[in-house]
């Protein structure tokens, strides 16, 4: 889908033009605040998670419309296993429900689905749904939709260290050959560009063990709405704010 950025952002009757060159290629989102959204309305937490799924649908459509190349969403963390069993069971069924209803649209829009995270411990029905989406979109060439599922950044880095150590022990890698690219190649996100922009709704200001290596030079945007209330205009405002950041990556501009 083509999209014109000319005078696309409007705030207090002022319009801002955004150049396509300043749009982030990779956006990562911590989908936070579902439970609090539900509590404010006297609803069960599961209702908040379901509303969060609707927000995800809106966000995928908007990101694709805006020309984002990669969208990574924090769907379930390694710490989320500590939640009540009934809530975890509900969360594990959401991928099946989401992909059952939305996969045809993702296919039609040329979106490619991938997953970052450990498959260990995931229910069979969850893995089946994700694998079906990955398989049916494998040849798509549009936006990449990356589900961070059963994901924890520290566990990811430990995994990378173990794999690299095994390669050194086997003699296929020398210690002095280990560099940042080698480490990145052993992360779940191998092959993806690092995120340019991290968005976290709900008002919390922390990373919560999400993409700690990959976010080294990302711009951070914290939004004062719960995830179920996150809309197209919030994504657009974050992109507009990103376009005005001066990204120097440790250097200076002469």
User: Residues 64-107: pLDDT tens digits?
Assistant: 999 999 999 999 999 999 999 999 999 999 999 999 999 999 99
The yes-or-no verdict on residue 17 having pLDDT over 80 is no
To the query of whether residue 89 is one of the catalytic residues in this protein, the response is no
Give the per-residue pLDDT at 245. Answer: 80
User: Is the Cα torsion angle 245, 246, 247, 250 positive or negative in sign?
Assistant: negative
pTM of structure: 0.91
> Could you give the CA distance from residue 250 to residue 254 in angstroms, rounded to a whole number?
13
Q: Would you tell me which CATH number, out of the four given (1.10.3720.10, 1.20.1740.10, 3.40.1180.10, 3.90.950.20), belongs to the domain 22-152+195-243? A: 3.40.1180.10
To the query of whether residue 80 is one of the catalytic residues in this protein, the response is yes
Give the N- to C-terminal CA distance of the chain in Å, as an integer: 38
The yes-or-no verdict on residue 110 having pLDDT over 50 is yes
> Could you give the CA distance from residue 246 to residue 243 in angstroms, rounded to a whole number?
8
Of the residues 13, 21, 32, 64, only one is catalytic, namely 32
Give the per-residue pLDDT at 22. Answer: 82
Give the per-residue pLDDT at 254. Answer: 57
Of the residues 64, 80, 140, 246, only one is catalytic, namely 80
- State mean pLDDT over 187-201: 98
Give the per-residue pLDDT at 62. Answer: 97
Structure tokens at 35: 């439970």
Give the per-residue pLDDT at 12. Answer: 43
- 8 Å CB contact between 102 and 87: no
Give the per-residue pLDDT at 122. Answer: 97
The yes-or-no verdict on residue 15 having pLDDT over 70 is no
The yes-or-no verdict on residue 61 having pLDDT over 70 is yes
Neighbouring CB atoms inside 10 A of 198's CB total 24
Exposed, middle or buried by CB within 10 Å (0-12, 13-18, 19+), for 162?
Answer: exposed
Helices (H), 137-254: 153-170, 180-185, 232-243
Domain range annotation of the chain: 22-152+195-243
């Amino acid at each position: 889908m083509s999209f014109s950025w000319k005078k696309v952002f409007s705030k207090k009757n002022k319009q801002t033009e955004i150049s396509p060159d300043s749009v982030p290629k990779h956006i990562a989102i911590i989908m936070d605040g579902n439970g609090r959204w539900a509590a404010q309305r006297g609803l069960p937490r599961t209702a908040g998670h379901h509303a969060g799924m609707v927000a995800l649908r809106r966000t995928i459509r908007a990101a694709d419309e805006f020309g984002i190349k990669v969208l990574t969403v924090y769907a379930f963390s390694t710490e989320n296993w500590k939640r009540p069993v009934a809530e975890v069971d509900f969360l594990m069924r959401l991928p099946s429900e989401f992909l059952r209803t939305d996969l045809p649209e993702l296919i039609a829009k040329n979106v490619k689905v991938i997953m970052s995270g450990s498959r260990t411990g995931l229910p069979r029905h969850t893995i089946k749904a994700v694998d079906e989406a990955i398989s049916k979109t494998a040849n798509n060439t549009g936006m990449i939709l990356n589900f961070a599922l059963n994901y924890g950044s520290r566990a990811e880095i430990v995994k990378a260290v173990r794999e690299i150590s095994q390669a050194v022990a086997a003699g296929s890698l020398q210690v002095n050959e280990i560099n940042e690219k080698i480490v990145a190649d052993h992360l779940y996100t191998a092959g993806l560009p690092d995120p340019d922009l991290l968005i976290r709704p709900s008002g919390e200001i922390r990373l919560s063990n999400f993409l700690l290596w990959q976010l080294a030079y990302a711009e951070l945007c914290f939004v004062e709405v719960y995830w179920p209330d996150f809309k197209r205009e919030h994504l657009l405002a974050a992109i507009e704010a990103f376009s005005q950041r001066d990204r120097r990556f440790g250097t200076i501009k002469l």
